[in-house]
Structure 1
């Protein structure tokens, strides 16, 4: 019985790791690129980016099975992992252990941020169709508030760290970086990827504030 539980836990951890990279991680990269298009202004963002996505066939099914359900499982099982873990970063002060707990804490922070983000965009759009019609202006007005901008910046950095560190951890878990030297080198690659994605995300946030509201280049 104990062996069966351990095997189930092993498989669930592997599924949790895999879903964190594909499709959730892949969607995060796409979403950061999508929001970076804000720098071209309202017309481009609303019509060429958001409008094109809203016109996709089976969009609701894609959102449900490729984003929502994997995200719910990843977040839910992540909380289970936290509940069964022992937070002793001071007792075991090596870097990998600290990163392990930063990964767990960033996951909790991301859950809270996603509730804010989804509520501010998708759920608010259900009650006010003008939000979906002009998402650029809606985000511009929201991010113009310092508190909201700070929350979005924090959420962005948490998401990027969670993905980059999760990628480094997954390489270890899946046996792709077996030696300490391979882990160190790939860790630097993941850190570089994280910085690149963070820059892309910040560019997107600023684009909502400084790009022309009526369209045009930036």
Structure 2
């Protein structure tokens, strides 16, 4: 479903003597359909950078990111043009960032429902589906008509998750999706992710909580402090962590 080949990303520093930093160098891994690959490594090593390159928020410096698209065929996301990326994001790719970014003064239910409109849903049906998703993620009904900008950090993240989950994407990209959630909501999110995997959604993600990672990941890419990567089954990675 997804194959990353010799991915590198560098950044020019225009306000520092360092000149350039290279958080990702020559990274390779692959994910089969319906599997969850977790990314582990120290803070600041470049885990989020990998996800942003896949979603093309960042343009990779070099390397290939091959994605088996249902509608577009085999696509190198590192080279896809902007229009193709927009189509893929609307129809096949889901991305949960650490922060919710939406148009201000739009009710939470409509923030979630609008993701279904490109698929031909009516506004009324989309709103009903959005209400069900918000309920599943433990957003109180009295907040459905409120603006997410007024929500707490955890409530905003639940809206963020609802926007991604509601379209059942073919490839889900998750950047610490449970970082600001309480225990019960985290358990609900884990259950939803496991259900989506059973339905065939492929996932790649980062979790701040290793216990959550162990519940959802089939394999883990351990970037390591030197920038290299080792892919190993989740059980083996968990055992290494406890040694």
Which TM-score bucket, shorter chain as reference? under 0.3
- Normalized per residue, the structure richer in strand is 2
TM-score, normalised relative to structure 2 = 0.24
Higher RCO (C-alpha 8 Å, min separation 6) = 1
Which structure has the greater CA radius of gyration? 1
